[in-house]
Structure 1
Amino acid sequence: MPPLFVLALGALGTAALAKVLARESRRVNAELDAQRRAEKAGTLDPRATLRRDPATGEYRPIDS
């Protein structure tokens, strides 16, 4: 393979990875902001425990 082709493939891979990481970062920050707003509004107990949702595998706060 010509070196230019390998470099172009590496650049495309890097751009795709950066896009995925940026999207994940925005998703996580949106979840954290929503939780902070809920805590500030008093609708979420800050002492709530986390339980794993078997359907999605995510941990969610559950009231004790």
Structure 2
Amino acid sequence: MPPFLVFAAAAAGAVYGAKAIKREWRRINRELEAADRDAVDADKAVRPTLRRDPATGEWRPGGR
């Protein structure tokens, strides 16, 4: 019976460890995605929108 208890305890520990790793993985991904969204928003605020000049056909920085 004791080897079975050791095996059961090891299995329970492995399940708990896997859940803890999964929880941490998701937390880190949420932080990275939020930082990426902030970077994209900041980049859009800095770069002007390009508009096509109907007279020349060239692309020029224009209004938003």
Match of 1:11 in 2: 11
Alignment pair present for 1:21 and 2:21: yes
CA RMSD of aligned residues (A): 1.5
Higher Rg: 2
SS in 1 for 2:31: helix
Listed as ranges, the gaps of 5+ residues in structure 1 are: 44-64
Matched to 1:19, the amino acid is: K
Number of residues of Structure 1 aligned to a counterpart in Structure 2: 43
Runs of 4 or more, structure 1, over 3 Å off, are none
Deviation at 1:2, TM superposition (A): 1.2
Q: What 5-or-longer segments of structure 2 have no aligned partner?
A: 44-64
TM score, norm. by length of structure 2: 0.63
2:4 and 2:29 mapped to 1: Cα distance?
37
Distance 2:27 2:2 in 1: 38
Partner Cα separation in structure 1 for residue 2 and residue 23 of structure 2: 32
The structure whose residues are more often helix, as a share, is 2
